[in-house]
Structure 1
Amino acid sequence: LALWVGGMGIIYGTLFQQPLDTYLPFLTIGFVCWGFLSQTITDGGNAFVFAEGYIKQFTYPKQIYVLRVIVNASVPFMIGVLIFLAVVLAMGQPIGPGMLWVLPGLVLVLLVSYLHALIMAYASARFRDLPHGMTALLQVLMFVTP
């Protein structure tokens, strides 16, 4: 992630004529959040498929298998947040009280990703090729969205 952000930051910063000290932190957190959301959407589509054996043997609520996807994707997400903090410190950006909004923002990202993964899990149980299509669509959307 750090190499990707560094390379894309230099390319996009030069292309869009943006100063790296302000552009690189925004690009970093954007990549971190996008990676988390896209991973939970695509992996959420396979949550019930991969847990088929557990679903047939146990009567746990099905949302547990979607939560497993969220927890699995949260580890690289939190590492990405640490990389973001390192980029902010390396670029000399001030860390003030406004950074406390990161905490409710993280909760919101986790909630939204859980809901997307849950929708994808139920939809993919019916339409088995949906995760493959979403993977291709999310790769295109990464470069199309602002």
Structure 2
Amino acid sequence: MKMVNLFIIALIGLSLSTQAEISPLNIDQSQKKTKDKYIKSAHDVIKHKSSQEEVRFAILSAALTSKSVKWILEDDGDNFLVLRWDHSEAVIYTKVEFDEQYIQLKYLDAYDDYQCKNNVDGICYKNESRKYYGHMKDLRSAIINTLSH
């Protein structure tokens, strides 16, 4: 068990060091995937005109108020937060990237259930459970609601 945890931490460390520029979601139709509406509900960018501090606060507030699961802050860096949620003995890591224009939720890693079977640059095209997309949608909606207040 400790070896698995160390492996997950190492993977997260490697993936945190690289961050692509955030741009509007363009779903690659050539990928083996779930329905587009689920991918969009989880990974479509959130446009904003808020300061970086306001965005960071909105993400953290949304993590506490998301209706389906409670998110735990795992890492905090320049223009990103890593959030974790535990569900039915599964651990799921999500990287929330942001810049001056956009916020985007990206799949980072999972232990047990909810593993992404087709992950392309943090966009999970095929997850083991459709519930993954529902939980991501709830967090995304909570961020949008927090930003609008």
Q: TM-score, normalised by structure 1?
A: 0.27
Tell me which structure has the larger Cα radius of gyration. Answer: 1
Structure that is richer in strand per residue = 2
Higher RCO (CA < 8 A, seq sep 6+)? 1
Structure that is richer in helix per residue = 1
